[in-house]
Amino acid sequence: MTSTVLPSPPGAMQILILQDRLRSGGTERQSVLLANAFAATGHAATLLTFRPGGVLAATVAPAITRRVLQPFDAGMDWFAPGLYREVRRAQPDIILCMGRMANCYAGGLQERFPTTSVIATMRTGKKLPRLFRRSLGIVRAIVANSHDARANLIAHHGVAPERVSVIHNSLVFPPAPVTGLRTQLRANHGATNNTVVLLCVAMFRPEKNQRELIELAAQLPADLDWQLWLGGDGPARPACEKFAAEKSLVARVKFLGWQRDPAPLYAAADLAVHASWSEALSNFLIESQASGLPVVAYDAQGIAECFVPDDTGYVIARDNRAAFLEKILHLSCATAAEKSARAEHARTYARDAFDPARQVARYLELFARLQRSAANLNTTPPLA
């Protein structure tokens, strides 16, 4: 989305987005996209992080007010010195808390700044810290990025249904032009037009489970020409590289590192694979669909909302490796006509369901509604 700042619209808001650090994860990419989009629509956007730096810091538009709490990187995601002082300085109308650590502070922020609308977000399948759970009962509203996440909040955390809005992730990366790109990228990694290229783009964390993808790929038929491309970086990467070497798969498993823009990989691959056990909604699978890639993924929170199950992809029960492999082979052996039809359906679904303009508009509608409610509360005359 463009970062050109438009004239402030009527009812322009001061919007503060709170994030612990601008690492390379999906939540962080969404934080930057939203900040840039809010500014582009004429609102004053501040992106406040606990820690300095991060690979996504360079992607923040010049129109965004960028603030950092730690004077130097203390290496602690939860450490937010001077948070209340900085919020008081910014005087936001809206505080949108992104990520688990930011959400742990959401309740305290709402208590300290009762006239500000503080919004918590549910974007994880991990266990919620105690302070996060406390915040859920205090903040003005909650945004879940999938219907599964909303159902989890209602069923397991006692949140009233009317307090939770579902706003899906936005497509961060538009599909890359395919002409000439597919053949060149594949050749760079030793893949031919006949090679089945499996792709996963995600941070290397234990819950993302890239190791299982390597184990699964190693069980594919010996006569199948395949490669597994793993884009991303993180603490679990060295162990995965060691495992691939131990299995003599160095020539087939490609570790591609952090991708500023993974769209070219989607254009060059044949199939998206995902084995994560902790999700809310996968940016990788959404982007894969937008580029026409079919999906095979283990079931987790929100996964079935990333594509059209049993059509543009398959949701596999946890640890059913036989079914996972069967669907990889099924999709790989489809006719050209079948692949083309599936790809077109995937692109149409993803570009409609996760259109950035639509998601940003839904956030702004929520913000405006909360502002109206706050104004009504503040102007209601006292009872006689």
Annotate 259-328 with DSSP letters as a single string.
Answer: -S--HHHHHH-SEEEE--SS-SS-HHHHHHHHTT--EEEE--TTGGGSS-BTTTEEEE-TT-HHHHHHHH
Predicted pLDDT at 279: 82
Query: CA 378, 382, 383 angle in degrees (round to 5)?
Result: 145
Residue 384 has what pLDDT? Answer: 34
pLDDT for the residue 10: 54
Confidence (pLDDT) at 214: 98
Tokens of 133: 């759970």
For position 377, what pLDDT does the model report? 64
Query: How far apart, in whole angstroms, are the C-alpha atoms of residue 146 and residue 366?
Result: 16
Q: Which residues fall within 8 angstroms of residue 171, CB to CB, at 6 or more apart?
A: 286, 287, 290, 350, 351, 354, 355, 356
> Which residues of the chain have a pLDDT value below 70?
1-10, 178-179, 377-384
**289 near 297, Cβ under 8 Å?**
no
Full set of structural domains in the chain with CATH: 14-170+355-372 (3.40.50.2000), 181-353 (3.40.50.2000)
pLDDT at 378: 59
pLDDT for the residue numbered 9: 55
Q: Within 13 A of 243's CA, how many CA atoms are on the CB side?
A: 16
- Confidence (pTM): 0.89
**What is the arrangement of strands in the sheet containing 164-166, beginning at the earlier edge strand?**
65-68, 44-49, 14-19, 94-97, 117-122, 141-144, 164-166
Q: Cα 4 to chain center, whole Å?
A: 24
pLDDT for the residue 381:
46
pLDDT recorded at residue 125: 86
